[in-house]
Amino acid sequence: MDKNKKKKNISKPLSRFRSWIQAGATLLTNIHLPNFFKGGIYQGNGKAVCVPGLNCYSCPAASGACPIGAFQSVVGSSKFKFSYYITGFLILLGVLLGRFICGFLCPFGWFQDLLHKIPTKKLSTKKLKPLTYLKYAVLLLSVIILPAFAVNDLGMGDPFFCKYICPQGVLEGAIPLSIVNEGIRSALGALFTRKLIILIAVVVLSVLFYRPFCKWICPLGAFYGLMNKVSLFGIKVDGHKCVSC
């Protein structure tokens, strides 16, 4: 049995339970639910381990660290072994699972899926295909180059993607924390407003387009996409049956 046949046989039964798998993965990634009512962030030993999908470290219920945020924090200095750990972690997941993580294990991907199920007119992304290359630019510039070279005396760079772009941080972190914690609510400023606008734009676009953030912006998806050709999981498109939906 060839590799593509194996992929098809494995993927078909999984796709039937995709929504349940996504819900379970989101719950495991954010298992400390009582923290949503306490207005605090879980800071136990689990935060030393990265989760596979895009899930904000600042989410009160987050059980682990976001791989993109963790990588950005220490990519600029060889003093931190954590950068080697997270790089190896991402490569391992990419080789084993590839974009399977985006489709089945990422909380923000599931969030977009739910939004797209809202009954309204849907738009095709076929003519917007060049935008898919944007996420690779985001990965290179905001996740690797800027955090690596714009560093402080400790060799730690600003997490540019998390700080200035990522809408997941607002959805999972800033909004729930500010609702419960008055101190955080009073500290919100222009940066929060700009990222809230990005989140609102992603929400609106997700209703109209299928997974716009994943397709056009997400650097984690870009990295896993690079690994997808050698991953154990994948999708084989039958060109004769494809209707370009």
Assign 3-class secondary structure to the chain.
CCHHHHHHHHHHHHHHCHHHHHHHHHHHHCCCCCHHHHCCCCCCHHHHCECCCCCCCCCCCCCCECHHHHHHHHCCCCCCCHHHHHHHHHHHHHHHCCCHHHHHHCHHHHHHHHHHCCCCCCCCCHHHHHHHHHHHHHHHHHHHHHHHHCECCCCCECCHHHHHCCHHHHHHHHHHHHHHCHHHHHHCCHHHHHHHHHHHHHHHHHHHCCCHHHHHCCHHHHHHHHHHHHCCCCCCCCCCCCCCC
- Give pLDDT, residue 220: 94
Q: Tens digits of per-residue pLDDT, 107-158?
A: 999 999 999 999 999 998 888 999 999 999 999 999 988 888 877 776 667 8
Write down the domain spans for the chain: 3-230
For the entire predicted model, the pTM comes to 0.84
Q: Is the pLDDT of residue 13 over 70?
A: no
What mean pLDDT comes out for the span 206-232?
A: 91
